[in-house]
Amino acid sequence: MDKLLLIDDEADVQYSFRRIFEGADIEVTTASGGEEGLKLIPQIKPDLVLMDVRMGGITGLETLRRIRQSDTKIPVILMTAYGTTQTAIEAMKLGAYDYLLKPFDVPKLKELVVNALKASRDMKQVVSYQPLLDSEDYALGIIGRSEPMQNVFKLIGQLAVSDATALITGESGTGKELVARAIYHHSRRSNQTFLAINCAAIPENLLESELFGHERGSFTGATNQRIGKFEQCNGGTIFLDEIGDMSLPTQAKILRVLQNGTFERVGGNQAITVDVRVIAATNKPLEQAVAKREFREDLFYRLNVVRIALPALRERRSDIRLLVDYFLKKIGETHKLGRKAFAPLAVAALENYDWPGNVRELENVVQRSMVVAKSDVILPQDLAPEFCVRSAGKPVERTEAAASTITASEPNSFSTIAEQLFRLARADTTLKVIPAVERELIVAALKETKGNQVQSAKLLGITRATLRKRMEKFKIRQELSIQ
Ligand SMILES: Nc1ncnc2c1ncn2[C@@H]1O[C@H](COP(=O)(O)OP(=O)(O)OP(=O)(O)O)[C@@H](O)[C@H]1O
Ligand SMILES: [Mg+2]
């Protein structure tokens, strides 16, 4: 559960915050002044602090300054009444995450809190690359042993020790954001701010002001001066996600920041200097956008100095099993679904699928299967129908498809199955491997013969009566709905 610390001396505000975040999986602790808040921070280790600017005792600004002396990262949102916005702006320069005007607009407050909590998590949860699945701190890692992923890890390592700009490309769900966070966590800026901005999610006309801030009156609606992300993130790292969606004038400003670290706020004429590392990502082919003059060529070359091109999951099928194990463990723990495992045939079906949504889709499939599976072992029947389509794209019968995953695989498929069963046995000590193999063989034979018991018995080299007994023992008939 996320922890929010509210520092405000008004009982009304404390009460309404508890009401607003009730049932939202956010634990609210309150302090009535700066001193009390500062004492509480090391005790409760909040993920986010919301604080009034004007309070009795030490001011909000002084409290923020003291928070920053011991913690450079915890997001602090300041709350201010009209007329004190200048103080709020100073607070932003001191490293506040954002500020809110009183009286609150509740949906806006909630949105800001959700975003700040994400920023807090991004900075706190260290993304490790090449994590060990059986180690304690595997919790957030980039999984993959295939060759293309080994190259990705090498580049992350190189980028982490340098301060260079990086461009991360790859289809949706391949892990671009995860890689950006890994670079940050292993860089010398890891104790400074990390801010992720999704350029596609912010309306074009507001993005420039979001990134660079604006002066009062610079456009309709700009009633106050605003500090942008680049200023706020001075010393830290900015992740510009979906950079391909940025307008040409904003691109020009980004180029200038990259070249000499300066920019002007929208409507301003004073050059501001910052030291910010930029990591950009896109799932659009930027080369094409450059050819169509939708993306500045000079900016493209400036970003493309070091590029990490993430492979699609179908280009690294050998990692699928590893990822499945990782998500089984991670989802089992975070969603309290216990330890579950995929039956070898189900894993084979996952390995044969094309994964247009890449790792994100795989994560969703594992979660869904864990929820719908009736036992601790997830069977091919627990998977959605699309997993019964052969790689060539020709739809086949469900039961036949699962069997085809054995017959159509490479010569080492038997050792693959054995390996999977051993893994299951290690996770679940009650699993008996030899009967499990026997069961898989019977199921495969029945699928091969479309449920014909005479032919199956012949294939297996046993009598029909023995086959029947085994089917009963292993409850095969009910599960496969074989007639
Ligand atoms: N190699 C990996 N190991 C473990 N988890 C991964 C890996 N790659 C991606 N994920 C997980 O898959 C999900 C999608 O990853 P992420 O958000 O980084 O993708 P993306 O490339 O930014 O996608 P999009 O283009 O849609 O924004 C996340 O939950 C992430 O943790
Ligand atoms: Mg992304």
Which pLDDT score, from 0 to 100, does residue 217 have?
A: 85
The DSSP code sequence of 76-135 is EEEEE-TT-HHHHHHHHHTT--EEEESSP-HHHHHHHHHHHHHHHHHHHSPPEES--TTS
Low-confidence ranges of the chain (pLDDT < 50): 389-412, 478, 481-483
**CATH number for domain 2-124, candidates 3.90.550.10, 3.30.1300.10, 3.40.50.2300, 3.40.1190.10:** 3.40.50.2300
Domain ranges in the chain are 2-124, 128-311, 315-480
Residue 359 Cβ inside 6 Å of ligand 1? The answer reads yes
Res 289: pLDDT: 94
- Closest-lying ligand 1 atom to the alpha carbon of residue 171: 25
Instruction: For residue 323, give both structure tokens.
Output: 């990822």
> What is the model's pTM?
0.74
pLDDT confidence of residue 404: 36
Distance CA 445, CA 460 (A): 7
Whole-angstrom distance, CA of residue 299 vs CA of residue 244: 11
Is the CB–ligand 1 distance for residue 173 below 6 Å? yes
Please name the residue whose Cα sits nearest to atom 9 of ligand 1. 175
Q: What are the residues whose beta carbons fall under 8 Å from the beta carbon of 114, sequence distance 6 or more?
A: none
For ligand 1, mutation pick of 183, 360, 366, 367 (most atoms within 8 Å of CB): 360
| pLDDT (0 to 100) of residue 406 | 36
Task: Say whether 315-480 and 2-124 share the same fold.
Answer: no
Pick the CATH number of 315-480 from 1.10.1740.10, 3.90.10.10, 3.90.25.10, 1.10.8.60: 1.10.8.60
Return the pLDDT at 135.
Answer: 57
- Ligand 1 geometric centre to CA of 256 (Å): 30
Ligand 1, atom 28: nearest CA belongs to which residue?
360
Ligand with smallest separation from the Cα of 142 = 1
Ligand 1 midpoint to CA 130 (Å): 15
Which class in CATH covers the domain with range 128-311?
alpha beta
Q: In this predicted structure, what is the pLDDT of residue 403?
A: 38
Q: How far, in Å, is the centroid of ligand 2 from the Cα of 150?
A: 21
What protein residues have CB closer than 5 angstroms to ion ligand 2?
176-177
